[in-house]
Amino acid sequence: MKSLSLLAVLLLATASSSGQELVVRNARLMGTGAADGPKVDLRVVDGKIAAVGESVGPVSPRTPVVDAKGRFVTPAFVLAHTWEGMDRANEVMDVTPFVSVTDAIDPTSSFFDNMLRDGVYTIHVAPGDRTAIGGLGAVVRPTALVVEEMTIVPEASVKISMIPPQGNRAAHMAKIRAALEDARRHMESKERATDTKPTGNFAADLEALQLDRRKAPLVRLLKREIPAFVSCAVAGDVTRALDLEKEFGIDVRLALGPDTWRAASVVASTKKVAVVGPRFWSEEEDPETGAVVRRFLPKVLSDAGATFAVVSVQTSLGERYLWYQAATLIRHGIAKDAAWASVTSRAAEVLGLGASKGSLDVGKDADLLVWTDDPMSGRAWVDVGVSEGRVVYERVKDRRLADLLGIQEGGR
Amino acid sequence: MKSFVRLLSIVLALAPLSADARAQGEADLLVRVKRLYVGDGTFKDDVAIVIRNGKFESVGPLKEGVAAKETFDAEGLYATPGFVEGSSFVGLPRGADENEEGSETTPELDVRAGLDLSDPEFARLLDVGVTTVVVVPGYRNVFGGLSAAFKPKPKGPPRLLRAGVASQAVAHRAPTAGNSPPGRGFFRGGGPDLFNRRPNTRMGVVHELRRGLQEGRGVASTEGWRRLYPKATGDALARAVKGETPFVFSASTATDVLAALRIADEFGVSKFYVQDAGEAHLVAAKLAERKVGVLIGPIDARFRAESEEERSGVMTAPKILDAAGATYGISRGTSDDASSLRAFLTYAVRGGLTPEKAAAAVTGRPAAITGLSDATGVVAPGLDADLLLFDGDPTSPSSTLAVVVSDGAVVRRSEARK
């Protein structure tokens, strides 16, 4: 019995190391790190982009080939921050760093079904904005039906919200500070009480400290092992979030609502990618004249020199698609490259996955989409979706989409 | 681009004027576009549009020697007529709840009487390309009163395009909102009164419709009825029954649409259309067969609406209505980018409609359904010069709405690009 399972393990190991290949032919690249141009081939080995160019070497007859037929090929989208895909976005208490979205993600929800269809293959699910310290977020792919198999980064973030669900902002800030100070005291007392010297192995060191499990996430935050994603509704929230960063030495990634536009230069000064959306417009009424001034946050940020990723939301008109969000940026004066980056490479960067996700450069994960039309045209659908070198979505086999659109089998 | 436009205007001004052009003097605007979505379901490529005195003067190949005070002819421009919003609550102080609640049946009221013309939402509609908007009374009454069409202006009140566009009759459940059956309300045991009104169900709403029309028919035919019934109310109902004022039935579910058709049949109502019909596509064949105009919307990038009562049309609804041969328009856009008529245009195309038909569904079709096609909705000589210019195909969400022309005047210029 033992030898049999050993054999199975060996077989699995050979299968994964033998260089599983996929070739995409005749791609018209768009919004990639590589030079845009027609008729390019891509070779994928072991889930990574191995070669991009006019010739990617000989292809064995056993290698699966996706013929893009000169159609647009883009990197798959990266959704930098969402509270969707869970049963509930928030715990009812104010400070719950010990909960994790891993325990709340519903792989069968229509959200993940849509993400698969819409070509969003890297999704950062984090607790919602109604909790001061909401818990742990995770980065997942929509390509499996079990959370563990979906998971790319299990503990990707600690969610903090600067938006008080009740009471004023001073009290809210005090709550967050108290929780972080408490975690710091806990960490320091454990460190004093432990004889073992730090080994450099983070997990082992934390294990050696024998931390209170309920406080471990905040300790890891304080040790900068994981970043904080901090939701900000107004400009003051941004400066307060950066105060926390300074006071506690944590790594803050800003998630900005439209009314934070006054802090654009502060955001730029962080030199980090911020998360923006799904709403972009700030609207302010002059109390004296009644005149309404509307500001488009991405443009304000871009003019101030800040970089950002934008996010979508399923529940809103239009705003459910990342390509629509990117098109909205272009429509309001953001350069096309920057707009595309905000839903691909910038979004990967904000998650710390810039080296593996968000573009079609050689060496990165083969997460790519073959489109039926220009992705910006509004009428394009993902035709073939590839996640980590595996074909995970084919429109012709999407019975549900066909039903919804009233398409006969095999037709457009 | 600006300097190019200026240069071109100079060149055109220096060009020898034909006798015809000299006689008429300079036109106000000359626009040359790569593609014009005409608004009637067709498109024309490489056309020049000449605008004079607030009206379209000509649409077609560029004639020699036409000079204009201002010219737009940047490369790759697309044009559509100004968007026509066929059903809106803009300017109503309480929106959908704006009704006189003394009675269910107030067809004699005119929406203009309660309208706040200084509502900034009028001007904001211009930002998203709406140059004509039909304002309808609230939905709390079964017979709400007369709607009116306005043209928003960048400063000051909108221009009244037409009063008495249609008499509103509600066939969905909105008039029951907040009503409770006698004995369960705040004033227990009482019959219907100001705080405890009928109806309470869809059946009740349809009953009220029937009762009102019965009375309208009576007033229209006999003196006896006229003496019995309040004059203004009776006259207003009689006018609608006789077809002097068109009816607009507000209907959300397919059931509501069918109820409206049934009621119209029973009382021989000849002139009417249907609005807010989120489920119209489910009865598309019926609407086509009856040749009844229908306004759907808002439409949604989702496949399924969230709640039963707030039904928004699905992305594929325009295509389904089109395939069935129905007369349809898309309405209920807001000034919010992602739920504007402009966005609905994109969704309709995504749902399978051709771009030229989708453009018609937010311009010429709603204008025709609401009876405004003698004034606006299509780019044709003699009609109001309401025109939108885009820097790319307007059905693509990445194209910028660059210029808005209302009654021949440039009212919006985008600074977003270049």
Confidence of residue B312 (pLDDT cuts 50, 70, 90): low
B10-17 long-range contacts (CB < 8 A, ≥24 apart) are B12/B66, B12/B67, B12/B68, B12/B71, B13/B67, B15/B64, B15/B65, B15/B67, B16/B65, B17/B65, B17/B67
User: With contact defined as beta carbons under 8 Å apart, do A263 and A239 qualify?
Assistant: yes
For B23, residues 6+ apart whose C-beta sits below 8 A from its C-beta are none
Q: What is the pLDDT of residue A17?
A: 41
User: With contact defined as beta carbons under 8 Å apart, do A395 and A382 qualify?
Assistant: yes
Q: Ramachandran region of residue B153, left (φ > 0), alpha (ψ -120 to 50) or beta?
A: beta
Q: What is the pLDDT of residue A165?
A: 87
Residue of chain A whose alpha carbon sits nearest to that of B415: A333
Q: What is the pLDDT of residue B313?
A: 62
* H-helix or E-strand spanning residue A185: helix A169-193
- If contacts are CB pairs under 8 Å, which of residues 286-315 in chain B contact chain A? 298, 300-303, 306
CA angle A388/A394/A399 to nearest 5° reads: 140
How far A329 CA sits from the closest chain B CA (Å)?
8
Low-confidence ranges of chain A (pLDDT < 70): 1-19, 31-38, 202, 316-317, 406-412
- In angstroms, rounded to a whole number, what is the distance separating the alpha carbons of residues A137 and A127? 7
Residues of A in contact with B401 (CB under 8 A): 331
B400 touching chain A per CB within 8 A: yes
B184 touching chain A per CB within 8 A: no
Extract the tokens encoding B15: 């060009």
Question: B338 vs A321: CB contact, 8 Å cut-off?
Answer: no
- In angstroms, rounded to a whole number, what is the distance separating the alpha carbons of residues B15 and B68? 12
Nearest to A71 by CA among A116, A26, A114: A26
Question: A318 vs B120: CB contact, 8 Å cut-off?
Answer: no
Give the full edge-to-edge strand order of the sheet including B159-162: B83-88, B130-135, B148-151, B159-162
Extract the tokens encoding B236: 């207003």
Residues paired with A292 in a beta bridge: A285
B112 touching chain A per CB within 8 A: no
* Residue-wise DSSP of A78-145: EEEEE-TTBS-S--SSSB-TT-BGGGTB-TTSHHHHHHHHHTEEEEEE---TTSSEEEEEEEE-SS-S
User: With contact defined as beta carbons under 8 Å apart, do A77 and A115 qualify?
Assistant: no
Place of tokens 């010739």: A55
Nearest to A160 by CA among A86, A85, A217, A225: A217
Question: B338 vs A324: CB contact, 8 Å cut-off?
Answer: yes
Of the partner residues B127, B300, B352, the one whose CB lies closest to the CB of residue A317: B300
B410-413 long-range contacts (CB < 8 A, ≥24 apart) are B410/B29, B410/B70, B411/B126, B411/B153, B411/B154, B412/B126, B412/B127, B412/B154
Confidence of residue B349 (pLDDT cuts 50, 70, 90): very high
- In angstroms, rounded to a whole number, what is the distance separating the alpha carbons of residues B401 and B72? 13
- In angstroms, rounded to a whole number, what is the distance separating the alpha carbons of residues B253 and B274? 11
Residue of chain A whose alpha carbon sits nearest to that of B397: A327
Place of tokens 């394009």: A380
**pTM score:** 0.87
Of the partner residues B316, B395, B416, the one whose CB lies closest to the CB of residue A405: B316
User: Would you tell me how many other CB atoms lie within 10 Å of the CB of residue B117?
Assistant: 13
- In angstroms, rounded to a whole number, what is the distance separating the alpha carbons of residues A125 and A74? 23
Residues of A in contact with B121 (CB under 8 A): none
Extract the tokens encoding B68: 């204009």
B2 pLDDT above the threshold of 90: no
Of the partner residues B319, B401, B417, the one whose CB lies closest to the CB of residue A333: B417
Q: Could you tell me how far CA B219 lies from the centroid of its own chain? A: 31
B349 touching chain A per CB within 8 A: yes
Residue of chain B whose alpha carbon sits nearest to that of A330: B398
How many helices (DSSP H) and strands (DSSP E) are in chain B? Answer: 12, 18
Residues of A in contact with B339 (CB under 8 A): 317-318
The tens digit of pLDDT for each residue in A243-283 reads: 999 999 999 999 999 999 999 999 999 999 999 989 999 99
For residue A340, the one-letter residue type is W
User: With contact defined as beta carbons under 8 Å apart, do B381 and B56 qualify?
Assistant: yes
Relative to beta strand B148-151, strand B130-135 is: antiparallel
B399 touching chain A per CB within 8 A: yes
How far A331 CA sits from the closest chain B CA (Å)?
5
Q: What is the pLDDT of residue B191?
A: 53
Question: A317 vs B349: CB contact, 8 Å cut-off?
Answer: no
Of the partner residues A291, A316, A327, the one whose CB lies closest to the CB of residue B397: A327
Question: Burial code of A98-132, b = ≥16 C-beta within 10 A, e = fewer?
Answer: bbbbbebbebebbbbebbbbbbbbbbbbbbbbbbb
Q: What is the mean pLDDT of residues B375-397?
A: 96
Q: What is the DSSP letter of B280?
A: G
The tens digit of pLDDT for each residue in B38-79 reads: 999 999 999 999 999 999 999 998 877 788 999 999 889 999
Q: What is the pLDDT of residue B192?
A: 53
Radius of gyration (C-alpha) of chain A in whole angstroms: 23
Of the partner residues A292, A320, A331, the one whose CB lies closest to the CB of residue B301: A320
For residue A63, the one-letter residue type is T
Of the partner residues A292, A320, A331, the one whose CB lies closest to the CB of residue B120: A292
Q: Is the peptide bond before B137 cis (omega within 30 degrees of 0)?
A: no
Question: B338 vs A316: CB contact, 8 Å cut-off?
Answer: yes
| ipTM computed for the complex | 0.83
Residue of chain A whose alpha carbon sits nearest to that of B394: A377
Residues of A in contact with B300 (CB under 8 A): 317
How far B317 CA sits from the closest chain A CA (Å)?
10
B53 touching chain A per CB within 8 A: no
- What three-state secondary structure class fits A194? coil
Q: Could you give phi then psi for residue A103, rounded to 5 degrees?
A: -85, -5
Q: Is the peptide bond before B298 cis (omega within 30 degrees of 0)?
A: yes
Of the partner residues A299, A320, A324, the one whose CB lies closest to the CB of residue B397: A324
How far A96 CA sits from the closest chain B CA (Å)?
31
User: With contact defined as beta carbons under 8 Å apart, do B140 and B104 qualify?
Assistant: no
Mean pLDDT of chain B: 85
Residues paired with A77 in a beta bridge: A120
- In angstroms, rounded to a whole number, what is the distance separating the alpha carbons of residues A77 and A311? 10
How far A133 CA sits from the closest chain B CA (Å)?
30
The tens digit of pLDDT for each residue in B239-283 reads: 888 888 999 999 988 899 999 999 999 998 889 999 988 889 889
- In angstroms, rounded to a whole number, what is the distance separating the alpha carbons of residues B16 and A26? 53
Residue of chain B whose alpha carbon sits nearest to that of A378: B396
Q: How many CB pairs under 8 A join A and B?
A: 81
- What three-state secondary structure class fits B370? coil
Q: Which of A117, A285, A289, A317 to mutate to test the interface with B (most CBs of B within 10 A)?
A: A317
- In angstroms, rounded to a whole number, what is the distance separating the alpha carbons of residues B59 and A399? 45
Nearest to B86 by CA among B333, B345, B407: B333
The CA–CA distances, whole Å, from B261 to B171, B216, B294, B323 equal: 10, 18, 12, 21
- What three-state secondary structure class fits B157? coil
Residue of chain A whose alpha carbon sits nearest to that of B298: A317
Q: What is the pLDDT of residue A408?
A: 47
Q: Which of B282, B398, B413, B415 to mutate to test the interface with A (most CBs of A within 10 A)?
A: B398
Question: A378 vs B120: CB contact, 8 Å cut-off?
Answer: no
CA angle A66/A68/A71 to nearest 5° reads: 165
The angle that helices A202-209 and A169-193 make with each other, rounded to 10 degrees, is 90
Q: Could you give phi then psi for residue A116, rounded to 5 degrees?
A: -65, -45
Question: B339 vs A377: CB contact, 8 Å cut-off?
Answer: no
Residue of chain A whose alpha carbon sits nearest to that of B336: A281
Residue of chain A whose alpha carbon sits nearest to that of B396: A377
Q: What is the mean pLDDT of residues B311-321?
A: 79
Residues of A in contact with B417 (CB under 8 A): 333
User: Would you tell me how many other CB atoms lie within 10 Å of the CB of residue A305?
Assistant: 12
Q: What is the pLDDT of residue A232?
A: 97
Residue of chain A whose alpha carbon sits nearest to that of B401: A331
Confidence of residue B182 (pLDDT cuts 50, 70, 90): low
- In angstroms, rounded to a whole number, what is the distance separating the alpha carbons of residues A283 and A138? 33
Nearest to A282 by CA among B127, B336, B413, B91: B336
Residues of B in contact with A31 (CB under 8 A): none
How far B413 CA sits from the closest chain A CA (Å)?
13
* Residue-wise DSSP of A2-49: HHHHHHHHHHHHHHHHS--EEEEEEEEE-SSSSPP-SSEEEEEETTEE
Q: What is the DSSP letter of A407?
A: P
B398 touching chain A per CB within 8 A: yes
User: With contact defined as beta carbons under 8 Å apart, do A63 and A57 qualify?
Assistant: no
| Strand stretches in B38-139, DSSP E | 43-52, 55-60, 68-72, 78-81, 83-88, 130-135
Extract the tokens encoding B157: 């009140």
Question: B336 vs A404: CB contact, 8 Å cut-off?
Answer: no
Q: Is the peptide bond before A107 cis (omega within 30 degrees of 0)?
A: no
* H-helix or E-strand spanning residue B324: helix B317-324
Question: A328 vs B393: CB contact, 8 Å cut-off?
Answer: no
How far B345 CA sits from the closest chain A CA (Å)?
10
Of the partner residues B303, B397, B417, the one whose CB lies closest to the CB of residue A328: B397
Relative to beta strand B247-250, strand A281-285 is: unpaired
Residues of B in contact with A321 (CB under 8 A): 301
The full length of chain B comes to: 418
